[in-house]
Amino acid sequence: MTLVPHRIGVLALDGVVGLDLGTPAQVFGAARTADRRPLYTVDTCTPGGRPVRSSAGFRVLPDHGLDLLAAVDTVVVPGLDGGPPTTDGTIDPAVATALRAAHQRGARIMSICTGAFALAAAGLLDGHRATTHWAHANRFHRLYPEVDLDPDVLFIDSGRVLTSAGVAAGIDLCLHVIRSDHGSEVANRSARRCVVPPWRDGGQAQYIERPVPRSPASGTAATREWARQRLHEPVALRELAAHARMSVRTFTRHFRSETGLSPAQWLLQQRTDHARLLLETTDLAVEQVARRAGFGTTAALRQQLHTRIGVSPSAYRRTFRRSPAAGPPRSESGGLRLVAEHP
């Protein structure tokens, strides 16, 4: 079967944030089949195909105008450094029309960071849960009170409209979409090519007191790696603290400051991710997957998968054992819809 790459259109508006602009092409461009065929194509457009200024002291000369949004499968709006959507809640009518038309015909719509202001100005977020960079949350609330804004998460997948927090959270969202479309193995390969962590849960807190451990000796990194090698075993908090040579209270404080999660939340996330990988890449029975991932019983695994992504283990396996050439699952046709709204 011929592989037809999924088409992505990046909409650059005046004041576009440079890093956000390059993120979709970099991350989606790294997503390939095992024989290195590209799974996505990424093009950039602006209103009228005109150059727009970026926040980084350069101008963007696009290859397309807004007509691109009528032809792509996914639209991505990068962050904005100023402009009407972020200052007075308005947007160029032509841009709003193009975004709404893309949404109405079934395209997936994504925003990175303050790109959510543009989606909100176009009316695409009214009545929906969304996120943006925490530093702009108060202004967003004032301009768009109809939107259920949650500034405490990395990204939110509401089906066909997805929003993310600032900077690196855009990478997390793109990897989440690749994982939703093609499974963990493809997403992990993409992350490795981009030299970034393969997975941060969408419900993880945006603000982490100490994102980088102070040193391997004083942080919890070594203990986290030790725990990853023992996901199939019960691992108690006191064992983690003992391995790190800290008291339980001190360990918990350091762990949360470094990961944004409690040890229990982090372990659950690691076990779920491992179970997903086993379901995708092995023929192990679901009972065996549950044991190897540390859930113990099929019922516990089923409950956790249903909570995090809304499907049973068998449904997850059927979806992600499919060939990449078959294309991503379509939520609008009754297929799998991954939800990243729960921590």
Work out the average pLDDT over 316-340: 49
Work out the average pLDDT over 104-114: 97
Q: Residue 187: pLDDT above 60?
A: yes
Q: Residue 197: pLDDT above 80?
A: no
pLDDT digits (tens, 9 = 90+) for 160-173: 999 999 878 999 99
- Contact residues for 217 (Cβ-Cβ < 8 A; gap 6+): none
pLDDT tier at 269 (50, 70, 90 boundaries)?
Answer: confident
Cα separation, 173 vs 75, in Å, equals 13
* Measured CA distances, 131 to 117, 230, 337 (Å): 10, 34, 19
Cα separation, 274 vs 205, in Å, equals 21
pLDDT of residue 131: 95
pLDDT of residue 337: 30
Query: For 1-10, 25-34, 153-162, 195-204, which range has the lowest pLDDT when averaged over its residues?
Result: 195-204
pLDDT tier at 318 (50, 70, 90 boundaries)?
Answer: confident
pLDDT of residue 331: 36
* In contact, 162 and 141? CB cutoff 8 Å: no
- Is pTM beyond 0.85? Reply is no
Q: Residue 215: pLDDT above 60?
A: no
Cα separation, 73 vs 108, in Å, equals 6
pLDDT of residue 140: 97
- Secondary structure (H, E, C), the chain: CCCCCEEEEEECCCCECHHHHHHHHHHHHCCECCCCCECEEEEEECHHHCCEEECCCCEECCCECHHHHHCCCEEEECCECCCHHHHCCCCCHHHHHHHHHHHHCCCEEEECCCHHHHHHHCCCCCCCEECCCHHHHHHHHHHCCCCEECCCCCEEECCCEEEECCCHHHHHHHHHHHHHHHCHHHHHHHHHHHCCCCCCCCCCCCCCCCCCCCCCCCCCHHHHHHHHCCCCCCCCHHHHHHHCCCCHHHHHHHHHHHHCCCHHHHHHHHHHHHHHHHHHHCCCCHHHHHHHCCCCCHHHHHHHHHHHHCCCHHHHHHHHCCCHHHCCCCHHHCCCCCCCCCC
pLDDT of residue 122: 98
Q: Residue 84: pLDDT above 90?
A: yes
pLDDT of residue 166: 85
- Among all chains, which residue has been given the structure tokens 């015909």? 105
pLDDT of residue 325: 46
- Contact residues for 115 (Cβ-Cβ < 8 A; gap 6+): 20, 76, 77, 78, 79, 80, 163
Cα separation, 57 vs 48, in Å, equals 21
* In contact, 28 and 40? CB cutoff 8 Å: yes
- Contact residues for 3 (Cβ-Cβ < 8 A; gap 6+): 33, 37, 39, 324, 325
pLDDT tier at 115 (50, 70, 90 boundaries)?
Answer: very high
Average pLDDT, the chain: 87
Of 125, 165, 159, whose CA–CA distance to 145 is shortest? 125
pLDDT digits (tens, 9 = 90+) for 35-50: 999 999 999 999 999 9
